[in-house]
Structure 1
Amino acid sequence: MTDQTLKEIHQSFKVKQSSKFLDPCPKETAAAMKCLDSNNYNKSKCQDLFLQYRECKKKWLKERRELRRKGLL
């Protein structure tokens, strides 16, 4: 993720409603859901897309933790 993307996500968290879910990986989520729709919800055919989502989420969480350590969140 770029610094600009991180700033946009951070800003989204600042303005979101407390009960509203914020997805940090919308492209990966959309791709996985599209794959499931196209394959009659056979998850085994979409494993690579689920892996991409998990990697995106891991990277996002790691960056959030680092920002918290630096006192930027």
Structure 2
Amino acid sequence: MASSPSDEDKTAWGKVEKKFEHKNASEYYDPCQAFAERSIKCLRRNAGDRDMCSDYFQAYRDCKKEWLTQRKFAKANPSDPSSAKS
């Protein structure tokens, strides 16, 4: 079985932070896109039954929450080099 969603969402931001920080002004990059795609695939697989995909939705929410928390922390502490890795 694949690693748990909580393991994946903790590293999602770390893997894409550099790309996100150096993007063009008109580009939007979502480090949690993989979780969103998994949610959509689950809905398709289960004929739109949201109850069957609740774990996927929760993984996406957790990823977004972690990403936004890290972004806020990085903005509040721009000189703190450890903020990029937390």
- TM score, norm. by length of structure 2: 0.63
The alignment partner of 2:28 has SS state of coil
- Give me the whole-angstrom Cα distance separating, in 1, the residues matched to 2:47 and 2:25: 34
**Aligned-residue offset at 1:36:** 0.9
The alignment partner of 2:43 has SS state of helix
**Aligned-residue offset at 1:30:** 2.1
For 2:5, the equivalent position in structure 1 comes to none
**Aligned-residue offset at 1:26:** 2.8
Residue 63 in 1 paired to residue 79 in 2? no
Residue 14 in 1 paired to residue 25 in 2? no
Ranges in structure 2 where 5+ consecutive residues have no aligned partner: 1-9
- TM score, norm. by length of structure 1: 0.72
- Give me the whole-angstrom Cα distance separating, in 1, the residues matched to 2:49 and 2:42: 9
Alignment of 1:1-73 (within 5 A): 1-2=10-11, 5-6=13-14, 8-71=15-78
Runs (4 or more) in structure 1 with deviation over 6 Å come to: none
**Would you say how many aligned residue pairs link Structure 1 and Structure 2?**
70
- What amino acid is the match of 1:31? R
Question: Structure 2 vs 1, CA of residues 20 and 41 (structure 1 numbering), >3 Å: closer, same or farther?
Answer: farther
Greater relative CO, 1 or 2 (CA 8 Å, sep 6+):
2
- Give me the whole-angstrom Cα distance separating, in 2, the residues matched to 1:20 and 1:71: 22
Task: Calculate percent identity across the aligned residue pairs.
Answer: 31
- Give me the whole-angstrom Cα distance separating, in 1, the residues matched to 2:55 and 2:29: 23
